[in-house]
């Protein structure tokens, strides 16, 4: 999927993004968040409506798939940002540490 691949280099700061290795973690994060967001919706639909099982599946399944796909790209970006921030998986920790000015 092309929309999951980060750019090779930032056009502004020239940061090299090729060392990133998020692998399958964005998918796991997307599924976890989708499950937590969909659980109350599913519970409310089952408890408060008298919809047949087919109608519930027709509502819940597309909603869950759309939500998971929508969350994949932001999850990938967040995981790469965390890797960069902590200098993990090929990134070097380039930022300055906070200097304590207390005497």
The pLDDT of residue 4 is above 90: no
Beta bridge partner(s), residue 16: 9
Q: How far apart are CA 83 and CA 91, in angstroms?
A: 7
Q: By the 8 A CB rule, do 8 and 18 touch?
A: yes
Q: How far apart are CA 16 and CA 69, in angstroms?
A: 26
Q: Which residue from 26, 36, 8 is spatially nearest to 73, judged by alpha carbons?
A: 26
User: What is the predicted pLDDT for the residue at 94?
Assistant: 63
User: What is the predicted pLDDT for the residue at 15?
Assistant: 73
Q: How far apart are CA 46 and CA 39, in angstroms?
A: 11
pLDDT digits (tens, 9 = 90+) for 46-96: 999 989 999 999 999 999 999 999 999 899 888 888 887 777 766 666 655
Its sign, for the CA torsion 27, 32, 36, 42, is positive
């Amino acid at each position: 999927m092309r929309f999951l691949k980060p750019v090779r280099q930032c056009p502004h700061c020239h940061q090299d993004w090729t060392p990133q290795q998020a692998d399958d973690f964005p998918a796991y994060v997307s599924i976890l968040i989708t499950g937590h967001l969909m659980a109350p919706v599913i519970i409310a639909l089952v408890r408060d409506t008298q919809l047949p099982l087919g109608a519930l599946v027709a509502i819940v399944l597309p909603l869950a798939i759309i939500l998971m796909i929508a969350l994949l790209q932001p999850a990938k970006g967040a995981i790469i940002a965390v890797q960069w921030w902590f200098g993990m998986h090929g990134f070097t920790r380039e930022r300055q540490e906070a200097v304590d000015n207390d005497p």
